[in-house]
Chain A
Amino acid sequence: MVAEAAERRSRFIAENLRRIFIQIYRMVGNVDDAQDLTQEAFIKALQREDQLKDPDKAAHWLSRIATNTAIDFLRRSSRAEFLEVEALAEPLASPAEESPEELLLRSERRLFLEEGLRVLTERERLALVLRDLEGLPAAEVARRLNCSKATVRSHIANARIKFRQLLERRNR
Chain B
Amino acid sequence: MSHPQATALALFAGGELPWWMRWRVRWHLGACETCRREVEGYRRAAAWFRETAAELPPGFDWERAAAEMRANIQLGLEAGECVSGPERAVSRIRWRVAAAVASIAVVVLGGWWLHMPHPRAPRFEAPLVASTSEGIQIREPEGSLTLLNSGAVPVMVSASAEGAMTARFIDEETGLVTVNHVSVE
Which residues of A line the B interface, CB within 8 A?
A: 9-10, 13-14, 17-18, 21-22, 25-26, 31, 35, 38-40, 42-43, 46-47, 83, 85, 88, 90-93, 106-107, 109-114, 116, 128-129, 131-133, 138, 153-154, 156-158, 160-161, 163-164, 167-168
- Report whether B62 and A156 are in contact in the complex, using a CB–CB cutoff of 8 Å: no
A110: chain B residues at CB < 8 Å are: 52, 55, 57-58
Asked whether any CB of chain A lies closer than 8 Å to the CB of B178, the reply is no
- Report whether A22 and B58 are in contact in the complex, using a CB–CB cutoff of 8 Å: no
Known: A161-B10, A164-B41. A22 touches B56 (CB 8 A): yes
Known: A25-B57, A93-B59, A133-B53. A160 touches B70 (CB 8 A): no
Partner of A17, one of B52, B70, B80: B70
B58: chain A residues at CB < 8 Å are: 85, 88, 92, 107, 110-111, 114
Asked whether any CB of chain A lies closer than 8 Å to the CB of B173, the reply is no
- Report whether B50 and A132 are in contact in the complex, using a CB–CB cutoff of 8 Å: yes
14 contacts between A and B (CB under 8 A): A21-B65, A22-B55, A25-B57, A35-B65, A39-B76, A47-B77, A92-B58, A93-B61, A113-B53, A129-B53, A157-B7, A157-B16, A160-B10, A164-B10
Partner of A93, one of B7, B45, B62: B62
Interface band, chain B: 35 or more
A133: chain B residues at CB < 8 Å are: 49-50, 53-54
B59: chain A residues at CB < 8 Å are: 85, 88, 90-93, 107
- Output the least CB separation between A167 and chain B (Å): 5
Closest chain B residue to A92, Cβ basis: B59
| A86 to B42 CA separation, bound complex (whole angstroms) | 31
B55: chain A residues at CB < 8 Å are: 22, 106, 110
- Output the least CB separation between B80 and chain A (Å): 6
A38: chain B residues at CB < 8 Å are: 69
- Report whether A109 and B52 are in contact in the complex, using a CB–CB cutoff of 8 Å: yes
Known: A31-B60, A93-B59, A129-B53. A17 touches B66 (CB 8 A): yes
- Report whether A39 and B48 are in contact in the complex, using a CB–CB cutoff of 8 Å: no
Extra inter-chain contacts (19) besides given A90-B59, A106-B55, A110-B57, CB under 8 Å: A13-B70, A21-B56, A31-B57, A39-B72, A43-B77, A43-B80, A90-B64, A93-B60, A93-B63, A113-B53, A116-B49, A131-B14, A132-B46, A133-B50, A133-B53, A153-B17, A160-B10, A163-B45, A163-B49
- Report whether A138 and B16 are in contact in the complex, using a CB–CB cutoff of 8 Å: yes
Asked whether any CB of chain A lies closer than 8 Å to the CB of B13, the reply is yes
B32: chain A residues at CB < 8 Å are: none
- Report whether B49 and A156 are in contact in the complex, using a CB–CB cutoff of 8 Å: no
| A108 to B12 CA separation, bound complex (whole angstroms) | 29
Closest chain A residue to B51, Cβ basis: A109
A153: chain B residues at CB < 8 Å are: 7, 11, 16-17
- Output the least CB separation between A90 and chain B (Å): 4
A167: chain B residues at CB < 8 Å are: 45, 48
